[in-house]
Structure formats: structure tokens, C-alpha cells
Amino acid sequence: MYIEEFKKYYEKRHEYAKDFKKKHPDWKIVGTFCTYYPEELMYAAKVLPVRILGSHEPQNVTEPHIFGMFCPFCRDVLAQGLQGRYDYLDGIMIAQSCLHVRQSYTSWDLHIPVDFRYYLPMPHHLQSARAKDFLKAELEKFKKALENWTGNKITDEALDEAIEILNENRRLLRQAYDFRKKDNPPMTGLEAMYMVVSSQMMHKKDHNEILKNLIEKELPNRDLGIGDHIRLMVLGSENDDVEFLDMVETITSNPAKFVIDDHCTGSRYFWNQVEPKADRLMAIAERYINRPPCPTKDWPNRLRLEHDLNLAKEWNVQGAVLLQQKFCDPHECDIPIFQRAFEEQGIKTLFLELDVLVPVGQFKIRTEAFLETLSSEDLF
């Protein structure tokens, strides 16, 4: 079935990239950190961006490079490079994000040879009217750097085509997420995670083809028989922890499914589109500024909180699981406030801290207890 395709691409991300390179020798592949990278420009320059994620395995190669007080995700990401798993990359780039993953980029830059490296100072003060002009100017510089490196001129036509490919992907992902509003969702949280994360690792045209088939041929009639399951939301820092999601969704005592999320490996990545306008770079800048923010860029107002409460309402959520990478400062600053706001709306919360490896046994006990509180009416 189509939905299973995503898992395959997620697990075979390196094979896909290497194969892509063989099939498209005129394209280059650039590894990216975080999700603020302007994909449209890269596609228009025939550069395939692939997001570098960790492998959730113990490793002993990053200790000399990143102090242990930084998040396990950034160390896991760097470990992939130091272990040579991304040896097919032609370049790396980061659009300024949190300090943690910025270190993955800078250590990669120092120790792993690539042809192209680029640091784009993506603004943090997204709520300032000044952010758009600044980002547009930075996109101009990035455009020139890509042109110089690849030798490919980024024309308006190429940009329009790239915008449309990416917008289509975002539209289709939103459509797939809409199916999850149903009383009996045709997709689990884990499947949704595979669906979104795989789009960060493959060419969007390939991804769009699978998505179209999924939406037209599979989801409308797919019955997982989970209409009576507890509806959960998952939110927080980067999360592609398959084992954890699978554990929660296979608990049998009080079965539950994730029906919506706010993660950079989930809805936050694709939620809004580029609104086309004559000034293409400004249109792109506005898209990245207006997307649901990472907490490190969400100030002075907490716009993400309002967005997340709306998601919880629209997807009829009963409980929220707040996941946070250990040491993730931006989320740690938000979590107590988010928990209070969710509880005020009558949505119970469970907070769990992630490391590279998840203590599934302990988390299972805590999750089961949490689910029990959500179904207490049935118990007593």
C-alpha cells in the first residue's frame, strides 16, 4: 500500500539519495539542519536538500566536539557525519536555528569535507515587521552563492516551478492530515511521521506522486478500526522516535492514537505555503516567516501556543504528550506554560524527556498511567 512507501524511504534514506544522484548527475545534494532552509531556491538551482537526522543509536564520536549539555539530537546528527553515513553530500547549509543544532553544522564544517557550505542568518524576531526585508536580502545572497557553486542560473521560471512543487507537497500533506480529523482516522501517528519526515529526505516530485495515490486511492476507504481510541496530540522538539510512537500506539489497556502534532518533523514543516507574487524572493521570505514557529523564534508573543490549541480543538484531542529533547532550551522555556494552557482548556498533558535512546519500559508505564486518567470514566 502507498502509506507503507514512506517508511521504506525513511529507512532507506541514504540509498535513495545515492540512487537519486546516479539518476540525476546534473543535480547536487545538500544536507540541511533544522527546517528553515529555503528549499525553493535549492530546487531552482538543481540542488536536492536532504534533512540530516540522527539514527537513534549509541555513539562515541561526538564527545570531543559538542559539550554534553547540548541536546542529544544535535550530537546524533553530527555522529552521522563523523561516521561517514552522509558521504554522498556535496554540501551542507543551515538556516540559523537553535544553538544546539548549529553546533552540528559548525562541527561538520570543521571536520567533514564538502564542496559547499552556507550559513544563512535566518532571523529570530519573526514578529518584527523588519524580518521580511532582512530575510529577502539574505535569500538574494544565498541565491547568488548557489548560482556560483552550481553554475545554474536561478530564473523566475525555475523558481516558479520549484514553488509549485513544494506548495503541492504542502497542500497534499495538509489533505492527508485532514483525514486524521475523522472519528476513525485512517492513519496512525507513526505513519504520519513517516509520511512527513520522508518528504524531507526525497525529491518532492517523487513524494507528491505517492501522496496523490495515498489521498485518492487509499485513505478514503482505509479502516484501521481505531474510532474508539483515545485521541492524542504530540508536540515539542524534533521527534522521529519510531520506537516511542509505536509503543504508545500499541498499548492495549487504553488504546490511543496520535491524530495531530506540532513538530518540525510533522505539521510545523509543511503547514503553510508560499503565496505567489511577482517578487518571488519576498514571497518565499514571507512563507518562512509566517510558518508555525520553532519556540526559539516565537517571541515576544507565543503564537505557537495559540496555533497548537487550535490544532487540538480542530482535531478533537483528548490528551497531549509534550516531548522534549533533553537540554532543548527553547522548548524547556515553553513547556510549563504550554502545560498550564492545555490543562486550562481541559486537555490533560504528559511531559516526557527524550534522549537518543528512549527508555521504552519506563515511558510505557507513564504513558499507560496517563491514558488511564483520560479514560477514568470507564474505569470507575
Query: Using CB under 8 A as the criterion, which residues of the chain lie in contact with other proteins when the complex forms?
Result: 63-67, 69-70, 96, 98-100, 102-103, 106-107, 109-110, 119, 121-125, 128-131, 133-134, 137-138, 141, 295-296, 299-300, 302, 326-327, 329-330, 332-337, 339
Distance CA 29, CA 116 (A): 10
Picking from 154, 170, 139, the residue whose alpha carbon sits closest to that of residue 289 is: 139
Give the phi and the psi of residue 352 in degrees, each rounded to 5. -135, 140
Nearer to other proteins, 238 or 329 (CB): 329
Q: Least distance in Å: CB of 300 to other proteins? A: 5
Closer residue to other proteins, CB minimum distance, 327 or 363? 327
How far apart are alpha carbons 341 and 303 in whole angstroms? 13
Q: What phi-psi label fits residue 324: left (phi over 0), alpha (psi between -120 and 50 degrees) or beta?
A: beta
To other proteins, the closest distance from the beta carbon of 20 in angstroms equals: 30
Q: 26-29: long-range contacts (C-beta < 8 A, 24 or more apart)?
A: 28/90, 28/91, 28/116, 28/149, 28/150, 29/88, 29/89, 29/90, 29/91
CB 45 within 8 A of CB 150: yes
Q: Which is nearer to other proteins, 66 or 165 (CB)?
A: 66
Q: Report the nearest approach of other proteins to the CB of residue 98 (Å).
A: 5
Cα separation, 267 vs 258, in Å, equals 13
| Least distance CB 325 / other proteins (angstroms) | 11
In whole angstroms, the minimum distance from the beta carbon of 138 to other proteins comes to 7
Closest CB to other proteins among residues 46, 102: 102
Q: Which residue, 100 or 204, is less far from other proteins as judged by CB?
A: 100
Give helix 280-290 / helix 131-150 axis angle, nearest 10°: 120
Residue closer to other proteins, measured from CB, 129 or 379:
129
Residue type at 260 in one-letter notation:
I
CB-based contacts of 242, cutoff 8 Å, min separation 6: 56, 190, 193
Shortest approach of other proteins to residue 370 CB, angstroms?
A: 16
| Nearest distance from C-beta of residue 151 to other proteins, angstroms | 22
Q: Are 103 and 70 in contact (CB under 8 A)?
A: yes
CB of 123 to other proteins, least distance (A): 6
Distance CA 254, CA 44 (A): 48
Q: Using CA atoms, how far apart are residues 28 and 43, in angstroms rounded to an integer? A: 10
Query: Nearer Cβ to other proteins, position 70 or 73?
Result: 70
Min dist. Cβ of residue 174 to other proteins (A): 29
Closer residue to other proteins, CB minimum distance, 58 or 64: 64
Beta bridge partners of 353: 324
In the complex with other proteins, which residue's Cβ is closer, 141 or 277? Answer: 141
Euclidean distance between CA atoms 303 and 289, whole angstroms: 12
Q: Among residues 8 and 124, whose Cβ is nearest to other proteins? A: 124
**Min separation Cβ 51 and other proteins, Å:** 20
Provide the b/e sequence for 301-323 (b: ≥16 CB within 10 Å).
ebbbbebbbebbeebebbbbbbb
Cell of 300: 515576544
Q: To 10 degrees, the CA torsion angle through 297, 134, 266, 109?
A: -90
